[in-house]
Amino acid sequence: MADVTKEEELTLTRADFEAARRAVAPHVYHTPMLTSRSLREATGFDVRMKAELFQKGGSYKVRGPTNLIGQLSKEERGRGVICSSAGNHSQGVAIAAHQYGVKAVVVMAENATPSKIAATKGYGAEVVLHGTIWDEANEKALELVEERGLTYVHPFDDPRLIAGQGTVGLEILEDWPEVEVIVVPIGGGGLISGISMAAKSVKPNVRIIGVESSGAPAMKRSVEAGRLVTLDRVDCVIDGLRVKRVGANTRSVVSRFVDEIVTLPDAQIFDAVLWLMSRAKLVAEGAAAAPVGALLRGLVDAEPGTKVVVVLSGGNLDVEQLRGLSWN
């Protein structure tokens, strides 16, 4: 696998992603690309939805840990693995660890979606609750690495994990080689880093557009500044998008391989959640619905008829977050 230079300029090759795909293929689903006449008519684009909400664990997050844990040494596996997560990464690590017979410890924010906590425990992981956002949970995870000697599995910035997430991009290009634009949600940046490098390794002229919550635009701010920016605060309740600081690797990749980042407020993202339920009969979590929200709000600048894929990254929706919100 390609190395990271001293400037943190991670670049993975098509061979890296093909190797990751061979590693994860026996353990994950090749998820479908769905069409929606309603979404096509509402946006004017030829749209398909990459349905990672049908993936094991309910999101794409099983791909990266499966690739990463598969590359750990016997000694590293023997010590057990630990991660910090808003929810989906926890389930991905728990599933991957179980597949390899490895003990898993997961640190989650105290306000994490109850269903995600229960699911993570159900996959056999030990769950530790700490803090209110991922950054605080991650600090606790690093403390436990020192205390227990566990092997740390980063949720978005490890090259092996990014390679695994990038297998989504290979599947998109395999299933629809004509795609012109891929729209991807951004939290810490692991998914869009993998997809952007993998897709452009196959089709260099494909456009990659990222979508963040306007209440937590850590990647957009960092790319614009040319360095990592830590947000003073986040005004975002969507756990998959609620990050104060992205990764050094993911910032570098996004700055070079992603064509544009757009943002929209949580309320408009939840509008897209409800739209998908009503019009497409799909249950997508907030982060997964963000690309659809960007299309519905006219934030994706492309000609009518453009072939667009939106990545529905997961389906682990906290329905309580939909209660009491004012829709615009």
**What is the C-alpha separation between 94 and 63, in angstroms, rounded?**
12
**What would the 3-class secondary structure string for 7-41 be?**
CCCCCCCHHHHHHHHHHHCCCCCCCCEEECHHHHH
| Cross-strand pairs, 314 | 59
Q: How far apart are CA 56 and CA 53, in angstroms?
A: 8
Q: What is the CA radius of gyration of the chain?
A: 18
- Residue 296's H or E segment, with its range, is helix 286-296
Distance separating alpha carbons of residues 90 and 127, to the nearest angstrom:
9
> Which residues are marked as active site?
61, 313
Please count the CA atoms within 13 angstroms of the CA of 44 that sit on its side-chain side.
Answer: 8
Tokens (6 digits) for 230: 């830590």
**Order of strands, sheet of 307-312, starting from the edge strand that comes earlier in the sequence:** 33-35, 46-51, 307-312, 181-185, 207-213, 260-264
Measured N-to-C along each axis, helices 218-225 and 248-257 cross at an angle, to the nearest 10 degrees, of 70
| Residues pairing with 261 in the sheet | 210
* Selection from 295, 289, 51, 298 nearest residue 185 by Cα: 289
Specify the 3-state DSSP secondary structure of 160. Answer: helix
Angle at which helix 63-70 crosses helix 167-175, to 10 degrees, equals 120
